[in-house]
Amino acid sequence: MTLQLPDFPWDSLEPFALQAKAHPGGLLDLSVGSPVDPTPSVAIKALEYAAQAPSYPLTAGSQELRSAMVSWWQTQRNTGDLSLDEVIPSIGSKEMVGLLPTLLGLGAGDVVVIPEIAYPTYAIGAMVAAATVVTENNPEHWPVESKLVWINSPSNPTGEVLGLDYLHKAVSRARSLGAVLASDECYAQLHWDVDWSPSLLDERVTQGDRTRLLALYSLSKQSNLAGYRAGLVAGGDQLIAELLLARKHMGLIVPSPIQAVMSATLGDADHVDTQRERYRHRRTVLATALRAAGFRIDHSEAGLYLWVTKGQDDWEAVSWFSERGILVAPGSFYGVAGSQHVRVALTATDEAVSEAAKRLQA
Ligand SMILES: Cc1ncc(COP(=O)(O)O)c(C=O)c1O
């Protein structure tokens, strides 16, 4: 038996990357959301200090890390009081996204609901577990066979933020189905046109009842720690206990030096503010140039991407950008509903962003 997975979508961008590289000014890669700015010194110092690590780390996270995660969710995500049993770390958030259906014991006949335009790993995780994927945004239409529902706010790729109203409806429908509701919130601190991107675990949504609810966060983007693999998960204590048991058995453990980095980094808001302002500037430069080049920007009120369209086929648009030496991602990577958009990442240096703006306006 082999696992039947689709080709890795980014491989299909290779011919366009080659074309873009041939541009006399070189390639400007705005196709992936991989941070380019320095890792903050608070993280580097903590890593140096924690380099001695002869013993196995705790899968649940050190006491220090669990306290840091609890206070981060309470202060930054308005969850109200959380206990130490309602948080665990993950090895970046992608493994948790990919493995969640498996860790929950889902299989054939179970339905995993994902957004209509979505980060591809939600579907991959369901496929790995042999569950059925249904793409549906409207909670009223989530099927009765649903065992896990993913929501993603701010969205990758669209940047859409789900409001409290939607979150209320989602919780009440998931509860009536007996499904786990998992919210991927890894761009939550990077908001532009909204003051706040509410968490699924916001106490105005949960009223303190987090049963079968899960929220995922990541330090990759807000703290330039993608290379460290640092994710955090919070949710109802029983669900967290189930996940912890499976993760202990499987050795899904965050290395102790990274746990120390996470503890230190979660307590420092200043570097997040600095990073947000860097992205805000790049976003303004790119948005202005894209609009001047005739593109419309949809949603993009938060997150690390501009979701842009001229109404043409996404691959035609990818080709148009690559002729200018700029690589962007086709919207169809994220679902058929994205096939008239491209995703433009803000994760490039100021110099690259200003060069991209020049080429777009030339
Ligand atoms: C929506 C979404 N979820 C999860 C991830 C995974 O991030 P990481 O594994 O670095 O935490 C990404 C990365 O781009 C993402 O866009």
Convert the pLDDT of each residue in 178-192 to its tens digit: 999 999 999 999 999
**Ligand 1, atom nearest to 230 Cα:** 11
4 — pLDDT class (breaks 50, 70, 90): confident
- Residue identified by tokens 């010194």 is 41
CA–centroid distance, residue 94 to ligand 1 (Å): 5
Six token digits for residue 190 = 């990077």
Q: Give residue limits of the domains in the chain.
A: 9-38+271-361, 41-268
- Residue 206: count other Cβ atoms within 10 Å of its Cβ: 20
pLDDT attached to residue 1: 73
Query: What is the number of the ligand 1 atom nearest to the C-alpha of 218?
Result: 11
Torsion angles phi and psi, residue 127, rounded to 5: -65, -40
How far, in Å, is the centroid of ligand 1 from the Cα of 34?
10
**Cα 151 to ligand 1 centre (Å):** 13
Q: How far is the CA of 56 from the centre of ligand 1 (A)?
A: 26
Ligand 1 center to residue 106 CA distance, Å?
A: 22
Ligand 1 atom 6: the closest Cα is on which residue?
94
Q: Which are the contacts of 267, defined by CB distance < 8 A and separation ≥ 6?
A: 68, 71, 72
- Cα 349 to chain centroid, rounded: 21
User: In which band, very low, low, confident or very high, does the pLDDT at 127 lie, cut at 50, 70 and 90?
Assistant: very high
Q: Which two tokens stand for residue 47?
A: 């890593």
Residue 104 has pLDDT above 80, yes or no: yes
Please compute the mean of the pLDDT values over residues 35-41 and round it to a whole number. 98
- What are 31's two structure tokens? 């196709």
Considering the chain, what percentage of its residues have pLDDT values greater than 90? 97
Q: What is the mean pLDDT of residues 95-121?
A: 98
Strand partners, 305: 345
Ligand 1 atom closest to 226 (CA): 10
CATH number of 9-38+271-361: 3.90.1150.10
Paired strand residues for 88: 233
Distance 276 CA to ligand 1 centre (A): 17
Identify the pLDDT of residue 9.
87
User: In whole angstroms, how far apart are CA 98 and each of 178, 198, 220?
Assistant: 21, 23, 17
- Which of 6-20, 232-246, 329-343 is the least confident region? 6-20
pLDDT at residue 213 above 90?
yes
Measure 221 CA to ligand 1 centroid, in angstroms: 8
Fold match between domain 9-38+271-361 and domain 41-268 = no
Q: Which fold has domain 41-268?
A: Aspartate Aminotransferase; domain 2 (3.40.640)
Pair 192, 346: CB distance under 8 Å: no
pTM confidence score: 0.97
Our mutation pick for probing the ligand 1 site, out of 90, 119, 190, 334, counting the most ligand atoms within 8 A of Cβ, is 119
Please say if the pLDDT value at position 77 is more than 80. yes
What ligand 1 atom has the least distance to the C-alpha of 221? 10
Question: Residue 224: what residue type?
Answer: N
Nearest to 95 by CA among 282, 247, 298, 198: 247
CA of 93 to the centre of ligand 1 (A): 6
Dihedral angle at the C-alpha atoms of 75, 76, 82, 87, nearest 10 degrees? -140
Look up residue 217 and give its two tokens: 């966060």
Average pLDDT for residues 154-168, to the nearest whole number? 98
> Residue 274: which residues within 8 A CB-CB, separation 6 or more?
none
Strand partners, 23: none
Query: Partners of 148 in the beta sheet?
Result: 112, 180
Calculate what percentage of the chain has a pLDDT beyond 70. Answer: 100
Index of the ligand 1 atom closest to the CA of residue 33:
14
Under 8 Å between Cβ of 228 and 261? yes
Q: What is the model's pLDDT at position 197? A: 96
Kindly report the protein residue whose alpha carbon is nearest to atom 5 of ligand 1. Answer: 94
- Please report, to the nearest 10 degrees, the dihedral formed by the alpha carbons of residues 193, 199, 205, 211 taken in order: 160
What is the rounded average pLDDT for all residues in the chain? Answer: 97
Distance 362 CA to ligand 1 centre (A): 33
- pLDDT-based confidence at residue 2 (cuts at 50, 70, 90): confident
Quote the CA–CA distance of 325 and 327 in Å, as a whole number. 7
| Total residues belonging to the chain | 362
> Of 32, 151, 161, 218, which is best to mutate to test ligand 1, by the most ligand atoms within 8 angstroms of its C-beta?
218
Q: Cβ distance 322 to 347 under 8 Å?
A: no
Contact 88, 243 (CB under 8 A): yes
- Show the ligand 1 pocket: residues with CB < 6 angstroms: 33, 92-94, 97, 119, 152, 156, 184, 186, 218, 220, 226, 231
